Structure 1
Amino acid sequence: MKTPLRSILVAFTFVGCLAMPQAHAYDASAWQAAQADFQRANAGESGAAAEAAEKFAKLVAAEPGNPLLLAYLGSAESMQGRDATFPWKKMKFAEAGIADLDRALALLKPEHAQAPAGGVSIANEVKVTAASTFLGLPGFFNRAEAGAKLAHELANQPGFATMPERYRNAVLKLTAQAKQ
Structure 2
Amino acid sequence: MGRRRAFDEDEVMHAAVELFGGRAYDGVSVDDLVTHLGVHRNSLYKTFGSKRGLYLIALRRHVADDVRPVADALSAAPDAAAALQLVTAADLGLLLLAAVERAPADEEVAAEVATALAALDQAIADALGVPPELAAAITAAALGIRLRGNPDGVGAELARHLDPLG
Q: Tell me the TM-score normalised to structure 2 length.
A: 0.32
State the structure with more CA Rg.
2
TM-score computed with the length of structure 1 as normaliser: 0.30
Task: Return the structure number with greater relative CO, CA threshold 8 A, min gap 6.
Answer: 2
